Structure 1
C-alpha cells in the first residue's frame, strides 16, 4: 500500500486551469478574511490535518501557515458557510475568539485552492527563541488612538516589504528597504538606534508582523512600543465605521490574487516601465521570471503583461523555440524589478 495514500485527500490535486474554472463557475459569494494568533500548538501537523478536513468540506480556499507558535491565515470563505466556519474555528480551544480582519475590496477571486502548510514559524523572521518573547508585546492602538499618536509626533514604522509600502503607506513613516521580514527586523533596530525611549508606532497588513516586531524591539530595550490593532485592514474598517480621518494614503498590498485593495484615492507610485502614475502590481506573464512589479494598462498591452523585451519574446515564441531562448535570454526569476533594467 502507498504510505501516502491516506494523505491524498488532504491536498489539492486539480490543475491551475481546473481551479480557475471551478471558481468561475461558482454561483455564490465569498468573503476574504485574515487572522492570526500566537499560541502554543503541541502538534501542529495534527492541527493542520484537522483544519484541512473542516475547511475543505466548507469549500474554503486560502493560504494558511501553522507552527508550534500559532497560526497565520488568509482565506476565502463562502458566505453561506460563514457562520459554520466561525463556529467550528472557535470550537477549537486554541483559536477561540481569534479576531478576524475582513478584506476592504473583495471580488471573491482572492484564492483558488486551500493550502495549509506546517512551518517553523508563522512568519519567517530568522529570529532565535531567546531574541523575543511573544507574551511581552507592544500596546495595541485602535484607529483613533493611532491617529492621535501620529498627531503627537510619534515615530511611525512600516513593517512591510518595500514593494508593499511603495503603493501605500502612512505619511512620514520610516520605510525599510527590504524584501523580506527577516531582512527588515535588524534594519529597523538600526534605524531606530538612539530612540529607545521615544514612542514607536508599528503597522503592517493585518498585525502579525507587528506582533513579533514589538516583542523584538522590547527585547532590544525600546520602552514605548505600540502597534496598530488589526493592521491596515482593520484600520480602514474603523475609519469607515467611526467616520475617522484616514491617514493611510494609497493602496494596501495583499498576498492573494488581488495584490492590492484601495484605502484612499491617492496613487503614490509609478509604472516601472514608463513612469506614469500607477499602483497596480502584476507578476510577469513569463512564469520562468514571475517578477512582481508595477505595470500600467498601456505597458501591460505593449509588453503582453511581461516585465520587458526578453520575457515578452519568450512568452510569444513558439513552443519549439522556448528551450533555446532560455539559454540566451535573461529573466529576473522573481528578483526585484528596477526601471533601469535593460529589458525594460
Structure 2
C-alpha cells in the first residue's frame, strides 16, 4: 500500500501581496513536511507537492478553505516515495511565463478556450476539421503526444506567442489545445482567441486527467512531469513508444537531464547510452569537471550555476 501522494494543481486567482504569501506558504508547506515546487504570482498559484497522504489531505483542505482557491482541482497520483527532494515556493511575475510584455492581452479569468472533459475530448479528436494542438515544449512532446497532434518547435512556453502566425492556417477549424495539467492551455487558448481564432477548446485537467478518466487512449508515449519521476505512463488502452534515444536512435521511453549541470539538457536516452555516456548528452559534457554522478535515473537536485563576471 502506497503511503505517499503527489498533487498537481493550479489556480488563476488574484493574490494580494503575493511575495509575502509565497514566504508564508513555504513555511506552511514545510510544517506539513511536504516536498515540491510552487510558483506564486499576483495572478495565482501553480504547484506540484508531494508527501504522506495525511499531509497532502491537510494541504488540499487548507487550499480549499481559502476563498481565493476554493475551486482548485488537484490531480492526485499515488507514489511509492515523495516526488521531490526539497520544498520550494517562489514568487514570480507569472505562474506560467507567457513571453508577453503586455500581460493585459490575456486573462484566463476573463477569456479562455472552452473546457473539454477527457471523455468529450476523446470524442472530438475523432471529428473532421479538428486540429489537435500541443502547446508544450520540444522535450515534452518528443517524449509523448496525442496521435496526429500538431507540435511546435519551442524550447519554453514563452516562445508560444511567436508561433501564432504559423498557426493562422487553422483559424477556421476547431482547435483543441492540450498540455500536462491544463495551466498552459488557459493562456494559450486565450491568446489564440485574442488573435482571431474562432473555435478554441482546451483539455480540462490536461494529459494527466485524461489518463485517469479516459485511460489515455490515443496518447502516444509518456508524459513528462516536473518532478523526479520525470515521466509517467498515460495510455492503458493502446500504448506505444514514440521517443528515440538522443545518441543512438534506439526507441526508448526514458528521459533524463544531462549530467553536466551547465548543460542540463532534457533528452531521451536509452540505458546502454546512459551507462556509456555517464548520463551526458555529448562527449564535451562527459569531460566537464562539474559533471554529476549518474545513478541511472537522470534526475538531479538543481546545482547553482557559477556567477559569470563580465569581461571589461
In the superposition, the TM-score normalised over structure 2's length comes to: 0.86
Structure 1 residue aligned with 2:167 = 192
Q: How does 1:263-342 map to 2 (within 5 A)?
A: 263-264=234-235, 265-314=239-288
Deviation at 1:307, TM superposition (A): 1.8
Deviation at 1:58, TM superposition (A): 0.6
Deviation at 1:81, TM superposition (A): 2.0
Deviation at 1:158, TM superposition (A): 0.1
Contact 2:50 2:56 in 1 (8 A): no
Deviation at 1:315, TM superposition (A): 5.4
SS class of match (1:202): strand
Question: 1:229 aligned to 2:211?
Answer: no
Q: How does 1:69-148 map to 2 (within 5 A)?
A: 69-103=43-77, 106-127=79-100, 128-134=102-108, 135-148=110-123
- Long gaps (5+) in structure 1: 1-27, 318-332, 334-344
| Segment drifting more, 81-90 vs 228-237 | 81-90
Deviation at 1:262, TM superposition (A): 1.4
SS class of match (2:62): helix
SS class of match (1:193): helix
Deviation at 1:279, TM superposition (A): 2.1
Aligned-partner Cα distance in 2 for 1:307–1:255: 20
Contact 1:38 1:69 in 2 (8 A): yes
Q: How does 1:243-262 map to 2 (within 5 A)?
A: 246-262=217-233
Aligned-partner Cα distance in 1 for 2:169–2:244: 34
Aligned-partner Cα distance in 1 for 2:87–2:51: 10
Aligned-partner Cα distance in 2 for 1:217–1:305: 39
Question: 1:171 aligned to 2:147?
Answer: yes
**Moved runs in structure 1, 4+ residues, more than 4 A?**
none
Contact 1:141 1:228 in 2 (8 A): yes
Aligned-partner Cα distance in 1 for 2:157–2:264: 20
Contact 2:99 2:161 in 1 (8 A): no
Contact 2:134 2:152 in 1 (8 A): yes
Aligned-partner Cα distance in 1 for 2:49–2:146: 26
Post-superposition CA distance 1:298-343 (Å, at most 9, x none) = 11111222222222234599xxxxxxxxxxxxxxx9xxxxxxxxxx
Contact 2:11 2:69 in 1 (8 A): yes
- Long gaps (5+) in structure 2: 292-304, 306-312
Aligned-partner Cα distance in 2 for 1:282–1:194: 35
Structure 2 CA distance for partners of 1:315 and 1:307, relative to 1, 3 Å: farther
Number of residue pairs aligned between Structure 1 and Structure 2: 286
Larger CA Rg, structure 1 vs 2: 1
Q: How does 1:21-40 map to 2 (within 5 A)?
A: 29-40=3-14
Q: How does 1:203-218 map to 2 (within 5 A)?
A: 203-218=178-193
Post-superposition CA distance 1:70-104 (Å, at most 9, x none) = 1111111321223222211112111113100123x
Which of the numbers 15, 20, 31 marks the counterpart of 1:46? 20
Aligned-partner Cα distance in 2 for 1:130–1:316: 42
Question: 1:182 aligned to 2:155?
Answer: no
| Segment drifting more, 134-143 vs 204-213 | 134-143
Aligned-partner Cα distance in 2 for 1:248–1:258: 19
Post-superposition CA distance 1:23-76 (Å, at most 9, x none) = xxxxx8321111111111121022212322221111111111111111111111
Aligned-partner Cα distance in 2 for 1:288–1:49: 29
